[in-house]
Amino acid sequence: MVLYAAQRDSKDSGKGRTRRNRMDQTGQYGLYSVKMRASRDGAHISGAERIVPSDTVAKTAAALAERALSHPKGAPDFVNIKIEGAGSMLRLKVLPVSTNVTHTAEEGIAKAAELLAGAGITRINEIMSLFSETYAMRGAMLLDADTLERLEPDRARGVRATYMDDAESLARLSASGKNHYAEAIVLATKVQNAPGIIGEICVSDDPDYVTGYVATREIGYQRITTIKEKGSPNGGRIFLYRGPREDVPKTIDFLEHARVIVEGVPALPAPAEEHRLESVSAELRAIEERGLSRRCRTLSSPTGPVAEIDGRTVAVLSSNDYLDLARDPRVTQAAADAALRWGAGSGGSRLTTGTQPPHEALERHLAAFKGTERAILFATGYMANVGTISALVGKGDAVLSDELNHASIIDGCRLSGADVIVYRHNDMADLGRKLALCRGHRRRLAVSDAVFSMDGDILDLPRFVDACRRHDAFSMIDEAHSTGVLGASGRGICEHFGCEHPDILMGTLSKALGSEGGFVCTCREIAELIVNKARSFIFSTSPGAPAVTAADAALTILESEPDRVAALRRNVAFFTSELSRLGIAAKSESAIVPIIVGDERKAMDISAKLLDDGFLIPAIRYPTVARGSARLRCAIMSAHTEDQLRAAAAAIANACRSA
């Protein structure tokens, strides 16, 4: 009210004269108001305004037309662009801007109520309910802040604040042509300077945009990051008035006709931090709602057939340390000695400082164990797959991948840039057919898990290798769950079938070998290509000597104690027969025994119940396995006792029955 009077009375006071001088200066540049209004079937879609110098009018009009035509509410059938000389300007200092992070509409409305309480605005819930009526309005509702009586003469249109812009809008216009944030701040600043207005509430009318704001002169422009439910079209603006009825026309006149330039509008959505994180929180909530939320669990003891969780001892049926070598004193001593001798870390990639005698020794040992010319170490199995596949095939090549392959194979295929052709699970006829279709490609590579990590079944290796030979394709298998598990002496899937080995045998040090790292056993040429091209080999620090030496010691134990492999096999047979006896379908030729549950939440519930009962058996869900095929994944160790396995089978049968 004060400002409006000051403008009208400017001729008479010293203060007013200063303002008038500034207005005149602005006027000299020849400013124009460019307004856009878009509608369809007479219904308002959007409107905006810029105040710009004459030489920018055409560009501005074009940008606003563009914006009218691409509004989220839909395409307009009528766009009005109005250009008017703007004359002299009243300059207003921008309201201070703050952001309030809220996560639900309820929380946002509570925040709005709290913020407006200082201005004596109390009936927030009633006011908020009016936003279902503002959607189709071009302008705002003008409401008596206390009686909630509507004061605008044209209720369908509302009161439209016009002739206002940001002093800096030109620079912005060239950048994007559109800045909702700055426009809302400009509008709110003008509105709070109108006589009789004591506050404003704005909720975006975009169903996907849940942010709004409240404003008063005292609290400034207070963004509220979530003030409505996503998907709700309800939104608009409500101006809150307190004063005599006869002064309402003056207020409307100021809003609709006073020419205003707002100075100091922040250039970017001020603290963007909360807003960026809000979208992250929303994504997390969506994951949670689908029963797909994941978290890490801390084991407070070394992991063997039993371990400690949250101060309780539980039986562990989920470790990939199949032969119980991670805790073996010979293995841990080797790691400790290597740490003292070579240091904790290698300090670099294999191609810089990261190759030490332990690395070379383990590579020789692995090559001899698998019967290949060479072996190459990687920091993890994931890196071994990603690096090897993308080194061997690329654009113009074809990579054929089993539909149930591990994520690290899938990622390697994607990253390679080769055409990825997925064949039916363990279906060698399908693989053959698809290989035949890839004759035109430069190179063909077929890749498969040897033991499928979530199903526990075994690749039909002889026919896999045969199909690859016949179609001149490279063959690669992932022995993460087959090394130390398959074959009489644990050499893996080739020993199991007694057949020729494929071109590439990838494996890990982190499962039956009890340490960490990945490896590839292959011929000299492919090994050299990997050293030269595999980015995960070249651009990552090599595994440290302690891990490498531990794996080497574990491999020596595996070679000298084949009984461990036999014990593992006996345990799997015992466990699956116990389950079958209790009516739970379970079979496996490997150490992995899946129990299919189906529903994601149900699998989670069963797993939680089992933990209560003292058994750590995780639920495996999408995206690790297909949606609706959630399962318990039991991993058996050579060191489990029959008592442990019998008790686990009983607990599983019980939990599945009561779920």
Interface map 151-190 toward Mg ion (x if CB under 5 A): ----------------------------------------
Of residues 172-211, which lie at the interface with ligand WAQ (CB under 6 A)? 180-181, 184, 187, 202, 204-206, 211
How far the first Cα of the chain sits from its last, in Å, is 67
When asked if residue 374 is in the footprint of ligand WAQ (CB under 6 A), the reply is no
Q: Rule CB under 6 A: is residue 330 a binding residue for ligand WAQ?
A: no
Shortest Å distance, C-beta 44 to ligand WAQ: 7
Least Cβ distance, residue 264 to ligand WAQ (angstroms): 16
Q: How far apart are CA 248 and CA 250, in angstroms?
A: 5
Nearer to ligand WAQ, 36 or 555 (CB): 36
The answer to whether the beta carbons of residues 142 and 151 sit under 8 Å apart is yes
Of the candidate spans 74-82, 230-238, 281-289, 479-487, the one that interacts with ligand WAQ by CB under 6 A turns out to be 230-238
Give the Cα separation of 389 and 447 in Å (integer).
9
**Contact call for residues 529 and 374 (beta carbons, < 8 A):** no
- Give the x-and-dash track for 615-644 against Mg ion (CB under 5 A): ------------------------------
Residue reference for tokens 């998907």: 231
Report the alpha-carbon distance of residue 411 to residue 353 in Å, rounded.
28
Find the binding residues for Mg ion in span 195-214 (CB under 5 A).
Answer: 204-206
DSSP state of 561: -
Active site residue 453: yes
Rounded to 5, what percent of the chain is helix, strand, coil? 40, 20, 40
- 524 is in the binding site of which of ligand WAQ, Mg ion, none (Cβ under 5 to 8 A by kind)? none
Q: Which two tokens mark 367?
A: 């090559």
Instruction: Examine the residue annotation and report whether 511 is marked as an active-site residue of this protein.
Output: yes
Catalytic: which of 406, 471, 481, 496? 481
Measured from the CB atom, the residue of 183 and 479 that comes closer to Mg ion is: 183
If one asks whether residue 152 binds ligand WAQ (CB under 6 A), the answer comes out as no
Query: How many Cα atoms occupy the beta-carbon half-sphere of 207 within 13 Å?
Result: 6
Of residues 485, 487, 497, 496, the one with CA closest to residue 638: 485
The residue count for binding Mg ion (CB under 5 A) is 3
Distance of CA 496 to the CA centre of its chain: 41
Residues 35, 172, 223, 501: which binds ligand WAQ (CB under 6 A)?
223
**DSSP strand pairing (374-378 vs 619-620):** unpaired
| Binding of ligand WAQ by 213 (CB under 6 A) | yes
What token pair was written down for 341?
A: 């001798």
For residue 140, the partner it binds in Mg ion, ligand WAQ, none, with Cβ less than 5 to 8 A by kind, is ligand WAQ
One residue of 76, 108, 196, 212 binding ligand WAQ per CB under 6 A: 212
Beta carbon of residue 548, minimum distance to Mg ion (angstroms, whole number): 59
Asked if residue 561 binds Mg ion (CB under 5 A), the reply is no
Q: How far is CA 460 from CA 403, 463, 576, 586, 594, in A?
A: 14, 6, 22, 20, 19
Which secondary structure element, helix H or strand E, spans residue 616, and what is its range? Answer: strand 615-616
Q: Is 135 in the site for Mg ion (CB under 5 A)?
A: no
What are the two backbone dihedrals, phi and then psi, of residue 576, each rounded to the nearest 5 degrees?
Answer: -70, -35
Angle at 567 between CA 565 and CA 572, to 5 degrees: 95
State in angstroms the smallest separation of the CB of 381 from ligand WAQ: 45
Residue 47: name its binding partner from Mg ion, ligand WAQ, none (Cβ under 5 to 8 Å by kind): ligand WAQ
Question: Interface with ligand WAQ includes 39 (CB under 6 A)?
Answer: no
Nearer Cβ to ligand WAQ (235/594): 235
Stretch that binds ligand WAQ, among 106-114, 133-141, 470-478, 590-598 (CB under 6 A): 133-141
According to the binding rule CB under 6 A, does residue 76 interact with ligand WAQ? no
Alpha helices in 314-395 (DSSP H): 329-342, 357-370, 381-392
β-bridge pairing 615-616 and 592-598: unpaired
Residue carrying the six token digits 């409505």: 228
Longest dimension (CA), the chain: 106
Structure tokens at 327: 């805790």
187 binds, among ligand WAQ, Mg ion, none (CB under 5 to 8 A by kind): ligand WAQ
Is 101 a residue that touches ligand WAQ (CB under 6 A)? no
Cα 224–chain centre separation: 24
Catalytic residue among 511, 515, 536, 640: 511
- Interface segment toward ligand WAQ; rule CB under 6 A; list 147-155, 232-240, 552-560, 600-608: 232-240
Q: Which stretch binds ligand WAQ (CB under 6 A): 17-25, 231-239, 240-248, 321-329?
A: 231-239
Using the Cα atoms of residue 312, residue 318, residue 322 and residue 326 in order, give the sign of their dihedral: negative
Amino acid at 437: L
- We find the least distance from the C-beta atom of residue 134 to ligand WAQ, in angstroms, to be 5
Q: Which is nearer to ligand WAQ, 277 or 336 (CB)?
A: 277
Q: What is the DSSP string of 436-486?
A: HTTTTSS-EEEEEESB-TTT--B--HHHHHHHHHHTT-EEEEE-TTTTTTS
Counting contacts by CB under 6 A, is residue 237 touching ligand WAQ? yes
Could you say whether residue 605 binds Mg ion (CB under 5 A)?
no
Q: How many CA atoms are closer than 13 Å to the CA of 316, on its beta-carbon side?
A: 23
Shortest distance in whole angstroms from residue 211 CB to Mg ion = 10
- Tell me whether residue 481 is one of the annotated catalytic residues: yes
Q: Which of 46, 390, 453, 475 is catalytic?
A: 453
Question: Kind and range of the H or E element at 635?
Answer: strand 630-635
Chain-centre distance of CA 642, in angstroms?
A: 42
Q: Is 140 in the site for ligand WAQ (CB under 6 A)?
A: yes
The letter for the amino acid at 566 is: A
Site for ligand WAQ contains 475 (CB under 6 A): no
Choose, by CB under 6 A, the member of 236, 456, 487, 502 that binds ligand WAQ: 236
Q: Which residues bind ligand WAQ (CB under 6 A)?
A: 47, 134, 137, 139-140, 160-161, 180-181, 184, 187, 202, 204-206, 211-213, 223, 235-237
Residues carrying an active site annotation = 453, 481, 511
Q: Which residues bind Mg ion (CB under 5 A)?
A: 204-206
